[in-house]
Amino acid sequence: MAELTDTAQQRATGLLRDYGAAVRAKRIRAAMYFVALVICVLAASWSGEVDLRKFVEGLPRFGSYFRDITPTLRPATLGSDIAEWYWNFPVWLELLLETLLVAYVGTLAGATLGFFLCFFTSANISGNRTVSFVVKRALEFCRTVPDIVFALLFVFAIGLGPVPGVLAIAIHTAGALGKQFAEVIENIDLKPVEGLRSTGANWVDQIQFAVLPQVTSNFASYVLLRFEINVRGATVMGFVGAGGIGKELLGSIRQFYYSDVSAILLMIIATVVVIDLLTERLRHRLLGTAKV
């Protein structure tokens, strides 16, 4: 009996020892990562001109900024206060609609371009390796360069207005969606494609009748997600003169028209939230019917 408990105890100490060693190894690894991170942060703070004193000084100003942009609304004169707050409402509304249209047209144009390009880059159905490589790099370029940089270039080439904004969003969208579309295609079931090929169908027929029915709902869902992102992006296109509400927002922030800032920001947030809710509902419906 005593012998038995001894072995059990020995086993327990052995286990404890192993556990301790494992935990120690893990802690040492974590500590090493932590030290590396601290070094990176220190280097970054130096290069990023982080000044904690400035931050502490700025912190109350951050609070007072939000107090400043809060409009004065008194219950007694609520109607006229709101009217004064949104004194430029028709203009802002039109600019907001312009912003939405910029996002819509840009998303649709970019999605169309990405749609036609994605078939050349998916590893499982694209025929030619060289074409696939070239298209892939081109898409990568389009999505890595931020849309607002494209907008800067296009504003210079085409002139001020919403058109360069649309083109910038379209190019960036083509890059992002082309990649996502290609990934969807790489995950499809290839049996329908083989079946069609065995009947002698050409490449376009194979895509139309074997690939598209499998991917349409996923594609649409990605397009809707991208539209959400592009609505946010389109709100700042005006910063570089590429149309939409951004120009008004930039002006009111720079010139300290406090109540205008909050009025425009509130309109933007409301629009973005509504668009998010609508597209989320649409996407659930799309993917829901696709799964059944």
Partner 1 sequence: MKPRIAEPCDIDRLRTAYPSAFAPGYARRAAALAGISAVVGLFIFGVVWLGFSPSALVQGISKLGVILKLMFPPTAGQHMLVYLQALAQTLSIALLGTMLAALVAFPLSFLAARNVVGRWLLRFLTKRVFDAIRGIDTLVWALIFINVVGLGPFAGILAVAMSDVGAFGKLFSEAIETASPKPVEGVLSTGASKIQEVRFAIVPQVLPLLLSQVLYYFESNIRSATVIGIVGAGGIGLYLSNEIGQQSWDHVSFIILMILITVAIIDAVSGRLRRSIIGAQARS
Number of Cβ within 10 Å of residue 128's Cβ equals: 10
Among 81, 82, 101, 115, binds partner 1 (CB under 8 A): 101
Q: Which is nearer to partner 1, 2 or 56 (CB)?
A: 56
User: What span, in angstroms and rounded, lies between the C-alpha atoms of 40 and 36?
Assistant: 6
Q: Does 286 bind partner 1 (CB under 8 A)?
A: no
Residue 191 in contact with partner 1, rule: CB under 8 A: no
Q: Report whether 190 contacts 276 (CB < 8 A).
A: no
Binding part of the chain for partner 1, among 81-89, 95-103, 186-194, 279-287 by CB under 8 A, reads 95-103
| Cα distance between residue 196 and residue 137, in whole Å | 30
Which one, 193 or 240, has the nearer CB to partner 1?
A: 240
Distance CA 135, CA 289 (A): 32
65 binds partner 1 (CB under 8 A): yes
Q: Do residues 233 and 147 touch, judged by C-beta distance below 8 A?
A: yes
Among 9, 10, 13, 45, binds partner 1 (CB under 8 A): 45
Q: Which is nearer to partner 1, 191 or 254 (CB)?
A: 254
The b-or-e profile of 256-275 (16+ CB within 10 A means b, else e) is ebbbbbbbbbebbeebeeeb
Q: Considering only the stretches 176-184, 191-199, 269-277, 281-289, report the one whose residues sit in contact with partner 1 under the rule CB under 8 A.
A: 269-277
Residue with tokens 């109540």: 259
Rounded CA-CA distance 245/232 in Å is 11
Strand residue runs (E) in 162-279: none
Among all chains, which residue has been given the structure tokens 């082309």? 178
232 scored as a contact of partner 1 (CB under 8 A): yes
Q: Which of 85, 92, 98, 182 binds partner 1 (CB under 8 A)?
A: 98
Residue 25 as a binder of partner 1 (CB under 8 A): the answer is no
Sites of contact with partner 1 (CB under 8 A): 40-41, 43-45, 47-51, 54-55, 58, 61-62, 65, 98, 101-102, 104-105, 108-109, 141, 144-146, 148-149, 152-154, 156-159, 161-164, 166, 232-233, 235-236, 239-240, 243, 249-250, 253-254, 256, 265, 268-269, 272-273, 276
